[in-house]
Amino acid sequence: GAYDAPHILFIPSAGIGHLTPVFRVIAGFSSRGIDVSVVTVLPTVSAAETDYFNGLFADYPAVRRVDMHLLPLDASEFTREDPFFLRWEALRRSVHLLRPIITNAAPRITAIITDITLTSCVIPIAKELDVPCHVLFPTAATMLSLNAYYPVYLEKLKGGPEPGVIGDAVDIPGVFRVPRSALPPALLDVNKLFTKQFIDNGRAIVKADGVLVNTFDAVEPAPLAALRGGKIVPGYPPVYTIGPLKSHATKAGDKPGDALLDEWLGKQRARSVVYVAFGNRSAARLDQIREIAAGLEDSGYPFLWVLKTTKVDREDDAELAEVLGDGYLERVKGRGIVTKGWVEQEELLKHPAVGMFVSHGGWNSALEASSAGVPLLVWPQLGDHRVNAMAAVRAGIGAWAEHWSWDGEDTLVTRQEIADKVKEVMADGKLRASVAVAREEAAKAVAEGGTSYRNMHDFIAKLKG
Ligand code: BUP
């Protein structure tokens, strides 16, 4: 009843970029004394995810861990699918296992917060059990607006000359035209696993009680106004912008290697270091890795590069020296650091030596960079990254290497192009100035009385009934 203290059940999905905002909200709730349970799906996709979950439970002992054993998915049904899309599908097919978790919980679950990927499967269960259900959207509000609009767009196509064939651009009302080439590639094929999930979730979210987004109003005003004003879908649920969410790691910086990194950073000039990282899900081809290596060397700047050679870390046993080629590491010694390990990115971006961030355009990364006042050079790799790049350019937090290849394209971006672009962004005073403004806006949003601060406050008040 109305007198129960809130007990929130979080249903995370998979992929560090999806877990990051969920964990940050969990940490924030737990720190405020709110009772929280977290569905922990076993086994995890990657070793990094196991560490990530263990870290959360170690740092926040009051958080209740509820294990859920995933039902195996017959992968032969799907050929050549991304491992994370497959995992989301497996989760969606195991979602009935949540019913006993919810009904057996003590104290009673008073609200659910699910990751977007499971929305259309979780909402019916929540309705059936009469538990309010909120969705956490882990990327940009611009992507949320595409997610809301895409089912509407496809409906419109049905009446067109070639039903089901995606046109030159998807014009999101009140937002912008997303050219076909910038759409998440899977969306071009309505029969793709990801597309089916995306459409189902985009439709179902309208029945949610609210949507939480890790962004802030000043960075994405247009999509937020369009969603809230019902311009995209009438009757869209309230959108709570609560970002930039603060890091949840309480033990950051105690990993081996961090001391060496700090020492090296400490020796670099202010704003001189190029930080290069493409997130957790993107792995470049060997020939492209070699061009990046040479491009960074040619740029003349000191650099720190987090290099991944496989999508899933359990498979990553490549030796850096071999990947980078003969003599490379010796040549750049002292000037460039290449690492395969996990770095505390949010902390690192705040270091005064960091001058720019060559990023895949994951939205967590983009927000972390803007909060630190570090300009982005977005080199999209897959999925939502090009849409995020468009949002980043519009927000004045970064430049976008628009013609550089991505997912499924095999044109090589050359060392010359990479070196030139790095130098161009490093020298871009106008961009640096607008990033400084965004940094102020980000700080204002989460400070007492700011938009994200108030939204979080209102949301918690709603959870308390
Ligand atoms: Br790699 C790495 N340290 O070494 P995004 C990542 N992160 O702290 P995603 C580290 O992971 P896609 C590392 O700070 C950010 O919070 C980083 O989220 C952190 O991209 C998060 O940027 C990464 O949204 O790729 O999810 O890795 O967008 O393809 O899902």
CA distance 100 to 37: 14
Which position among 7, 82, 115, 313 bears the catalytic label? 115
Assess whether the C-beta atom of 15 lies below 6 angstroms from ligand 1. yes
Ligand 1 centroid–CA 295 distance in Å is 23
Contact 337, 462 (CB under 8 A): no
64-69: strand order across its sheet: 64-69, 35-42, 7-11, 111-115, 133-137, 210-213, 239-241
Ligand 1 centroid–CA 20 distance in Å is 8
- List per-residue pLDDT tens for the chain, 465 residues long: 556 899 999 999 999 999 999 999 999 999 999 999 999 999 998 898 999 999 999 999 999 999 999 998 887 888 777 888 899 999 999 999 999 999 999 999 999 999 999 999 999 999 999 999 999 999 999 999 999 999 999 998 887 777 678 889 999 999 999 999 999 999 999 888 999 999 999 999 999 999 999 999 999 999 999 999 999 999 999 999 999 998 887 654 445 557 889 999 999 999 999 999 999 888 888 999 999 999 999 999 999 999 988 776 766 777 899 999 989 999 999 999 999 888 999 999 999 999 999 999 999 999 999 999 999 999 999 999 999 999 999 999 999 999 999 998 989 999 999 999 999 999 999 999 999 999 999 999 999 999 999 999 999 999 998
Cβ atoms < 10 Å from Cβ of 81: 17
Structure tokens belonging to residue 328: 């490379």
| Closest ligand 1 atom to 84 CA | 30
| Closest ligand 1 atom to 346 CA | 14
Assess whether the C-beta atom of 261 lies below 6 angstroms from ligand 1. no
CA distance 402 to 421: 11
ipTM: 0.98
Name the pTM for this structure. Answer: 0.95
18 is catalytic: yes
Mutate to test the pocket of ligand 1, among 345, 354, 388 (most ligand atoms within 8 A of CB): 345
Assess whether the C-beta atom of 299 lies below 6 angstroms from ligand 1. no
Q: Is the torsion defined by CA of 440, 443, 448, 452 positive or negative?
A: positive
Contact 111, 11 (CB under 8 A): no
457 is catalytic: no
Structure tokens belonging to residue 194: 């990801």
17 contact partners, CB below 8 Å, separation of at least 6:
138, 139, 279, 280, 281, 362, 363, 364
